[in-house]
Chain A
Amino acid sequence: MAKVTMTVNGKTRTAEAEGRTLLVEWLREGLRLTGTHVGCDTSQCGACVVHVDGEAVKACTALAQELDGAEVTTIEGMANADGSLGVVQQAFQDYHGLQCGFCTPGMVMSAAALLKENPKPTEAEVRHYLEGNICRCTGYHNIVKAVMAASGQDVAPVAAE
């Protein structure tokens, strides 16, 4: 066991980690930040995506000890300071970009990473960027619409079904 300290959603946080402790376990069990989900054992679903030093990373496929000192943003850090939903979150609500919500934390974090890199992506770019985020419910079209809307673009041309 070792003490691991990161800046999580702007605050300095410390919790214990074994060598094998994954970032997602450290966040969920160490800090009780359970917004970041685990949807698979195989690094394929993207439900666990968070930002590490500004980049999208699968928290289930990174070691907490390795990231000692890193700056991490999770879904809990995406709301505005007054507690209202952030732009991407609000767009997911407005465009029904979620049903059960299980994949949503990862979707929102991936979408936010995309929009930081590419503020006005095309529909094709959104679909390509979200390839690593699997949703069992929505059929993706509303998620793509939400991301287009969050980037301030017209969603009317996005495939309807």
Chain B
Amino acid sequence: MYDFELVKPSTLQEAVAALKDDEAQALGGGQTLLPTMKARLAMAGKMVALSGVAEIKGICTDDAGRICIGGATTHATVAREATGFPALASLAARIGDPAVRNRGTIGGSLANNDPSACYPAGALAANAVIVTPDREIAADDYFQGMFETALDEGEIITEVKFPVPEAAAYEKFIQPASRFPLVAVFVAKFSDGVRVAVTGASSDGVFRWAEAEAALSSDFSAEAVSGLSAPDAGGMISDLHGDGAYRAHLVKVMTARAVKAAH
């Protein structure tokens, strides 16, 4: 790892000011960034640690009943405390392993937008709002392809607001070596329709499976999914862990399981 200067702001204002520097990069829990820097696939002149910024940590419920999670909140905290949205707490409880969950943060996961990450599926299915110091971004506009998001250079996630579905579940088919999903599906049923978000499958990153959403909005049952053909395997990730057709098949299987598990 190349050396850098570490700064540890204790307020959001100081963090935003420190990130104005062209050389600066935000450090969440470091569970993705530090291994990447060790491999010298990333470097920064200045790292701005968000872990000391108390105002962007923790969980609360807003007037609209949404679960609001500070951008620097760890996966372990969400797993323990997001009791108002059990499917999301369960997603957080299955990320990586306990030590990863004790450091890794929701802001870091959504900013990174790994095509196999868990939180992007939860945020997209629940139609979450991603909050930064200057604006609010709807999940539908936020995810822009593998490792690409609507965030500008140096813009940080301060909060994520999740509307709570009537019923929801996250089904993760684990890739045991990395402990990331090989394919995972988050299903969220709202009064005005069902949203289905898929991670781990597409080379464009997390996506909504429109056909399943339409079928499940009129009949919320696993049988409604079995009537569908699997999504097009053409754009699916193909690697030594599974080819595109296998992943496409898994999308369907995991969607049906999520519908069964939803409560």
Q: Is the CB of A110 within 8 A of B3?
A: no
Q: Is the CB of B98 within 8 A of A61?
A: no
- Once A42-B35, A58-B103 are accepted as A-B contacts, the answer to whether A19 and B96 lie under 8 Å apart by CB is no
Residue of B38, B51, B97, B177 with most chain A CB atoms under a 10 A cut-off: B97
Q: Which residues of A contact B130 (CB under 8 A)?
A: none
Q: Which of A108-133 contact B (CB under 8 A)?
A: 110, 113-114, 129, 131-133
Q: Could you show 24 A-B contacts with beta carbons less than 8 Å apart?
A: A18-B3, A20-B4, A41-B38, A42-B39, A43-B35, A44-B177, A44-B178, A44-B179, A46-B99, A57-B103, A58-B99, A58-B100, A61-B31, A63-B27, A63-B47, A65-B6, A65-B8, A66-B6, A66-B8, A66-B27, A129-B98, A131-B97, A132-B97, A132-B100
- Once A19-B6, A43-B31 are accepted as A-B contacts, the answer to whether A57 and B49 lie under 8 Å apart by CB is no
B102 interfacial contact with A, CB 8 Å:
yes
Q: Which residues of B contact A46 (CB under 8 A)?
A: 97, 99
B192 interfacial contact with A, CB 8 Å:
no
Q: Which residues of B contact A20 (CB under 8 A)?
A: 1-4, 37
Q: Is the CB of B6 within 8 A of A62?
A: no
Q: Is the CB of B4 within 8 A of A19?
A: yes
Q: Is the CB of B98 within 8 A of A132?
A: yes
Rounded to whole angstroms, the CA-CA distance of A62 and B31 in the bound complex is 8
**Nearest residue in B to A63 (C-beta to C-beta)?**
B6
B30 interfacial contact with A, CB 8 Å:
yes
Q: How distant is B45 from chain A, measured CB to nearest CB, in Å?
A: 10
Rounded to whole angstroms, the CA-CA distance of A97 and B2 in the bound complex is 37
Q: Which residues of B contact A113 (CB under 8 A)?
A: 98
Q: Is the CB of B102 within 8 A of A57?
A: yes
B251 interfacial contact with A, CB 8 Å:
no
Q: Which residues of A contact B102 (CB under 8 A)?
A: 52, 55-57
Q: Is the CB of B38 within 8 A of A62?
A: no
B215 interfacial contact with A, CB 8 Å:
no
Q: Which residues of A contact B38 (CB under 8 A)?
A: 41
Q: Mark A26-41, 1 if CB is under 8 A from B, else 0.
A: 0000000000000001
Total A-B contacts with CB atoms under 8 angstroms apart: 75
Q: Which residues of B contact A62 (CB under 8 A)?
A: 30, 34, 103
B184 interfacial contact with A, CB 8 Å:
no
Q: Which residues of A contact B34 (CB under 8 A)?
A: 22, 43, 61-63
Q: How distant is B30 from chain A, measured CB to nearest CB, in Å?
A: 6
A49 interfacial contact with B, CB 8 Å:
yes
B76 interfacial contact with A, CB 8 Å:
yes
**Nearest residue in A to B3 (C-beta to C-beta)?**
A20
Supplied contacts A62-B30, A133-B97, 12 more A-B pairs, CB within 8 Å: A42-B35, A42-B39, A43-B34, A43-B100, A44-B178, A46-B97, A49-B99, A62-B34, A63-B49, A66-B6, A66-B27, A110-B99
Q: Which of B77-106 contact A (CB under 8 A)?
A: 96-100, 102-103
Q: Is the CB of A41 within 8 A of B31?
A: no
Q: Which residues of B contact A41 (CB under 8 A)?
A: 35, 38-39
B5 interfacial contact with A, CB 8 Å:
yes
Q: How distant is A44 from chain B, measured CB to nearest CB, in Å?
A: 7
**Nearest residue in B to A56 (C-beta to C-beta)?**
B99
**Nearest residue in B to A2 (C-beta to C-beta)?**
B6
Rounded to whole angstroms, the CA-CA distance of A10 and B103 in the bound complex is 22
Q: Which of B1-51 contact A (CB under 8 A)?
A: 1-6, 8, 27, 30-31, 34-35, 37-39, 47, 49, 51
**Nearest residue in A to B97 (C-beta to C-beta)?**
A132
Q: Mark B53-87, 1 if CB is under 8 A from A, else 0.
A: 00000000000000000000000100000000000
Rounded to whole angstroms, the CA-CA distance of A19 and B34 in the bound complex is 12
Q: Which residues of A contact B35 (CB under 8 A)?
A: 41-43, 61
Rounded to whole angstroms, the CA-CA distance of A20 and B27 in the bound complex is 12
